[in-house]
Structures are given as C-alpha cells and as structure tokens.
Amino acid sequence: MNTEPTLPFLRACLRLPVSQTPMWIMRQAGRYLPEYRATRAQAGSFLQLCRNPELATEVTMQPLRRYGLDAAILFSDILVVAEAMGIKLSFNEGEGPQLEPRINSHNDVLALHPAEPEDELGYVLATVRTIRKELDGRIPLIGFAGSPWTVATYMVEGGSSKTFSRIKGMMFDAPLVLQELLDRLADVTAAYLNAQIRHGAQAVQIFDTWGGVLSPRDFRAFSLRAMIRIMEQLDKTTPQGEQVPVILFAKGCGPLLEEVAATGCQVVGLDWTTDLARARERVAGRVALQGNMDPAILYASEARIRQEVEEVLTAYGPHAGHIFNLGHGIAQDVDPARVSILVDAVRQVSRRILSQ
C-alpha cells in the first residue's frame, strides 16, 4: 500500500498539490515561548526535559496549540546519539553542551558503545509514541537526528567550537579515523531514525548544522558521504506502508544544492543565503524545498513580516513542493506575537498564490 497522503505537510514533501503552503518552524518548541520556559523549569533542566516523555510531548504540542502549525517536530537534541554511544553529555547554563571524554584517536572511536536505539534511546521512542497519540493523526510528526559530521564536531571538540581546530586537525591528518567515526555515527543514526519511524515518525529531518564550515571537497568527502550512508539504510515507509519523506537541511551549503538534492532525500532545507527562485530552478522538480525566510525578519514590524512572506512565497511561485520555514532555528528573544503574524501571512498569501 502506498496511497497519497492527505496531510498537507506530507503532500508538499512529495510535491503533491496543496491549497495552502504548509509551514513549521525550526526550534518551534523553544525558549521564545513562555509556556516552554514554564515546562522546562518544571522538568529541572534541558536534558531532563528531553528525557521525560510526558513533558517533552507537552513542549512539542505547545507551538501547535498556539499557532496551528502543519507539522510537529519531536522535542529532543541531536547530541543524545553521542550520549547513547557512551559519551557523558551535559549542558551548563549559558555555556552550550559539554561532552566527555573527547574523541581523539582510533582507539577512542573503537571504544564507542554500539548503541541500540531501542535500548539507550528508548526514552525518545517513548516520546515519539506519546506525541503521536496526542496528535491523533491530525498533524504529522517529524523525527530528526543530527548529521554524522555535525554530531562528530561536538564529540571531537568536546562541545561547541568557533574554529573546529580539533576535528579539522583529525580530518586533515587522520581522515580514516574520522571516516570510521562518521560511519559509526551514520549507522547508529540510521538505526535511530528507523526506530523513530517504527514508533511513529511520519517524516525525518537530518540537521547538518556545521556542514557549511567545510570546503566543497571536504563537505562531499565527509559530511555528504555520511548522510548518503544514512539514506541508504533508511526505511522508505512506515510500518503501515506510508512513504516517509526525508528532509536534508545542510546550513550554508546552498552552493552545493544539486548534490544535496541527489542524495535520495525528498526535501532539501534551505537557509536564507540561497535564492529560493533560483534554487527551485536548480533542483527542477527533483525534490521539494523547505525554507527559507531570514529568522531576523521576526524582529521586524507586522507590515514588514507580511511583505517578506509575500516575497518568499512569490519567489517559489505557484508550484507544488514548498514547505515554508525559517532558514534557521527561531531565536529565543523573538516576540511570540510576531510568529502569529507570520503564520497568518503564510496562510493568506499562499492561498492566493496557489489558487492562481
């Protein structure tokens, strides 16, 4: 069985016609929402929130209740995969993630735990099930994981980085060690995404937040290659036989759009530094596109937000295969009222454009 989906987000992923452009917002369940901050305070910490299926479901639902978006995204963190492989993960307030021990050598890679998602990440899968129950088929659920390259940057650097000196040192001097790390991450990530799909995810997004710090050559050899390794292992359908679209979001990689689109994904996520009209021509109907409004527009006035929505939707035009989103996660200092304006504008303008 492989019938056409009815939910607009899933239809747009497969480039099927819709009457208004479906939208969701990267990091839509986040600190800009007062109700999120309250639930997080109740959980104790960010990681405790991730590990609590009831509360993680609650924050997943909050932006849907407030704005009526077209997709829910699993509330979790890309680094839980590193944790499942035996790395100690902590988030110290205002400092970003810390990972111990750092991966330095081939022996460190060999010592990584071959994580079984059903075991070590069972709490995420429980969250997936709880969210699906709560959504009750009205709104689709997107599962996600970080790209191997992006997760590896944190594992090798021991946290966030500006220069990526350690992982690039490894890439340049011990490329086979890095490839081994990326292969292991790809295999665990594929198993993890497949588990999310088994437990209820209806689409999955791979976040390659840091692919853009690589030269085109190194992006291909390390980040893109590992994402293709995931793609090759992913289940194509849910247990019920529905097609599961894969969204690849590689920030800063607009110049390599054609290559990202050729990985076998159904949707490419774009940041705002890529021209959307040109991008649509470049992929020529081979994939759907997701994006790509500059998140900073949400600091602007209502009129300016509406104007920008008009420009983004006009750039894509009256074609199938567009999912509206920001070009990056929403910032924590955005006024939630601006998001209401954004959602209203996307509804109104896209209905007009798509009925032309």
CA nearest 188: which of 78, 263, 90?
78
Please identify, using beta-carbon distances, which residue of 136 and 173 lies nearer to a second copy.
173
With CB under 8 A as the contact rule, the residue among 187, 275, 310, 344 that binds a second copy is: 275
- Closest by CA to 7, choosing from 259, 199, 238, 210, is 238
Give yes or no: 132 in active site: no
Give the count of beta carbons closer than 10 Å to the beta carbon of residue 136. 7
Q: Which two tokens stand for residue 149?
A: 């390259």
* Binding status of residue 351 toward a second copy by CB under 8 A: no
Helix, strand, coil share (%) of the chain residues, nearest 5: 50, 15, 35
27 catalytic residue (yes or no):
yes
Dist. CA 139–CA 134, nearest whole Å: 10
- Indicate whether 215 belongs to the interface with a second copy (CB under 8 A): yes
Q: Which of 297, 309, 342, 349 binds a second copy (CB under 8 A)?
A: 297
Which of 32, 36, 67, 154 is labelled catalytic?
A: 154
Which region, judged by CB under 8 A, interacts with a second copy, from 137-145, 212-220, 229-237, 340-348? 212-220
3-state SS assignment for residue 293: strand
> Distance (Å, rounded) from C-alpha 267 to C-alpha 244?
11
Binding status of residue 295 toward a second copy by CB under 8 A: yes
Q: Is there a catalytic annotation at residue 220?
A: no
The distance of closest approach from Cβ of residue 214 to a second copy in the complex, given in angstroms and rounded to an integer, is: 7
| Window of 37-45, 53-61, 182-190, 250-258 that interacts with a second copy by CB under 8 A | 250-258
Size of the site for a second copy (CB under 8 A): 34
Options 31, 66, 198, 286, the catalytic residue: 31
Give the residue among 204, 285, 218 at the shortest CA–CA distance from 249: 204
Residue with tokens 């490329």: 175
Query: What is d(CA 58, CA 48) in angstroms, rounded to the nearest whole number?
Result: 13
Instruction: Determine the interface stretch with a second copy among 4-12, 36-44, 272-280, 348-356 (rule: CB under 8 A).
Output: 272-280
Nearer to a second copy, 96 or 137 (CB): 96
321 binds a second copy (CB under 8 A): no
Say how many CA atoms lie within 13 Å of 261 toward its Cβ: 19
Sign, CA torsion 155/208/185/28: positive
Contact between 308 and a second copy (CB under 8 A)? yes
Q: What amino acid positions are annotated as catalytic residues? A: 27, 31, 40, 77, 154
Binding residues for a second copy, rule: CB under 8 A, are 163-166, 168-169, 172-173, 212-218, 252, 254-255, 272-275, 294-297, 299-301, 304, 308, 311, 331, 333
